[in-house]
Amino acid sequence: MTAPSSRPGLDSRYCGAQRKQQPGPCTRPAGWGTSHPGTGRCKLHGGSTPNQKTSAARQRAEAEARAVLAELGVAPVDDPLKQLLALAGQVLAWQRATAELVNRLESVRYQSDGGSEQIRAEVLLYERAMDRAVAVLTAIARLNIEERLAAVAGRQVDAVVGAVEAALASAGVRGEDAIQAKRVAARHLRALDPAPSVEGV
């Protein structure tokens, strides 16, 4: 399975490095002349350097992992930041549910058949839910996820606005018509679902 390329206009079957003598990316096969044929840069564009060898090994491992996931019918996570926020929402919902169970108890302990005092299962569930909530929220705080998502959303909006302006100019739309078209595009962008957030964070 060939991993998708991050290089615009060229997939990962090719080297893709920017050429100095000619405009555009290198179209030699990926890994041409190196110890990692089929992946990464060619030997003329640094493919044999330690960094490129490491990068090629990582790309190959990622491609193999995606292939295994595809065989298992598991879709890869395209946006781990959003997925982590969604997971945090579920963890907090579970923590609130277990807290409600504990609040309904008349006592957090009970007498077992053998006469010993035991902590009720609801309390243990609540304690585990608290631990998981702390772990997930700590990870989010360390990663500044919401700030990163906001930055990504801002760049996406800028890219869309730029594309709209270029399309209008190419079509010869100017003046009041262009302004009206941009307003329509802005309304559609604002109507898009916002990035997920975690209640209480």
Rounded CA-CA distance 137/142 in Å is 9
> Which has more confidence, 6 or 90?
90
**pLDDT on residue 149:** 64
> Which has more confidence, 106 or 173?
106
The answer to whether the beta carbons of residues 67 and 1 sit under 8 Å apart is yes
The token pair at 40 is 């990464």
> Which has more confidence, 74 or 60?
60
Rounded CA-CA distance 66/73 in Å is 10
> Measured in whole angstroms, how far is the alpha carbon of residue 148 from the centre of its chain?
11
The token pair at 138 is 């700590």
The answer to whether the beta carbons of residues 108 and 123 sit under 8 Å apart is yes
For the chain, the average pLDDT equals 77
Report the predicted TM-score, pTM, of the whole model to 2 decimal places. Answer: 0.40
Model confidence at 3, pLDDT cuts 50, 70, 90, reads very low
Model confidence at 19, pLDDT cuts 50, 70, 90, reads confident
Angle at Cα 200 formed by Cα 87 and Cα 152, nearest 5°?
Answer: 60
- Asked if residue 2 has pLDDT above 70, the reply is no
The token pair at 182 is 């941009």
110 φ, ψ (degrees, to nearest 5): -150, 165
- Helix (H), strand (E), coil (C) string for 95-155: HHHHHHHHHCCCCCEEECCCCCEEECHHHHHHHHHHHHHHHHHHHHHHHCHHHHHHHHHHH
- Asked if residue 200 has pLDDT above 60, the reply is no
Rounded CA-CA distance 178/171 in Å is 10
Least confidently predicted of 62-76, 86-100, 113-127:
62-76
- Asked if residue 76 has pLDDT above 70, the reply is no
**pLDDT on residue 7:** 42
Which segment, 100-104, 146-150, 156-160, 172-176, is predicted with the most confidence on average?
100-104
**pLDDT on residue 53:** 86
**pLDDT on residue 201:** 46
C-alpha pair distances (Å), 7 with each of 11, 14, 15, 40, 128:
7, 10, 10, 11, 44
The 10s digit of each residue's pLDDT in 112-155 is 666 677 788 888 889 999 999 998 888 877 777 667 666 666 67
> What number is the average pLDDT over the span 154-171?
73
